[in-house]
Every structure is written in structure tokens, then in C-alpha cells.
Amino acid sequence: MTTPPTTSHPRDLTALDEPYLSFWRERHLCTLTTLRPDGSPHVVPVGVTYDVEAGLARVITSGSSKKARNVLAAGPEGARVAVCQTAGRRWATLEGRARVRTEPDRVAEAVRRYAQRYERVPRPNPARVVIEIEVTRALGHA
């Protein structure tokens, strides 16, 4: 019996190719999927940056947002999440464990990376936090 081909296109995190990494530097709207306390998915549009050297994807948001509350509800070990982007036939997903970070230096770094990728500085938000995702899996076709 033959195994059907996979459609997830898993990637080796230690050997991501330049087209895949370049896709994560292009300006694209993404989605973040978190789980609500009842286990149902909460999917929202977001801006995402991917720091391959640190193994982190970052999403800036308000600390009172549903996405931040969903991550916090998972407890100190963090929440399993996925971020995804698509453009035509190209797509990329990063999965991992997310935690909400409030440290000013971490938030500032996330804002800096966001401004670089999306070519605009986000509006000031005193309640801003960063959802940091420790990337454990990369999928896609870019």
C-alpha cells in the first residue's frame, strides 16, 4: 500500500530555503489562529514578523485583545498557535508555542520589526504587548 502524498509541505527549521524566508520578508497580511477556552479556533488577520535566527514569530497587539487573552488563558507554558500567509499559490505557515510578553524591550523589538516589514510605524498604543511564538514547525510552498 502506498502512502498518499502529503499536502502540508513540512520544512526543516534548520535549513529553510531563501524563497521561503524571502516570502516571510515580503509585505503580506497574515492570520493568527489561537484556541478559545472551549477549544474552538479563533482566526484573525494580523501582521507577523519572523526572526529565523531567534526562532521567533512576533505579533503585536493590545493586551486586551481576544488573541492575547486566548494565549494567556493557556497558562505559563503558552498556547499552541499557527500563523499563516498566502499569496496566489504561495503559502507559508509557522506553528509553535506562544506567550504574551510585556517587557518594553521585547515590545519595542517587535514594533521595530513590524515597521521594517510593513513599511509603516504602528500607531502608539500604551497597552501594546507582543505575542512571541517559539516556532517549532514550518510548512508551506513558497
Distance of CA 40 to CAs 34, 37, 44, 53, 64, Å? 9, 8, 13, 32, 19
Per-residue tens of pLDDT for the chain, all 142 residues: 444 444 557 888 888 999 999 999 999 999 999 999 999 999 999 999 999 999 999 999 999 999 999 999 999 999 999 999 999 999 999 999 999 999 999 999 999 999 999 999 999 999 999 999 999 999 999 8
**8 Å CB contact between 98 and 48:** no
The pLDDT of residue 1 is: 46
Q: Is 37 exposed, middle or buried (0-12, 13-18, 19+ CB in 10 A)?
A: exposed
Contact 128, 63 (CB under 8 A): yes
- pLDDT at residue number 14: 86
Alpha-carbon 21 to chain mean position: 14
- What pLDDT was estimated at residue 68? 98
Question: Whole-model pTM?
Answer: 0.92
Reported residue count of the chain is 142
Write out pLDDT tens, residues 18-56.
999 999 999 999 999 999 999 999 999 999 999 999 999
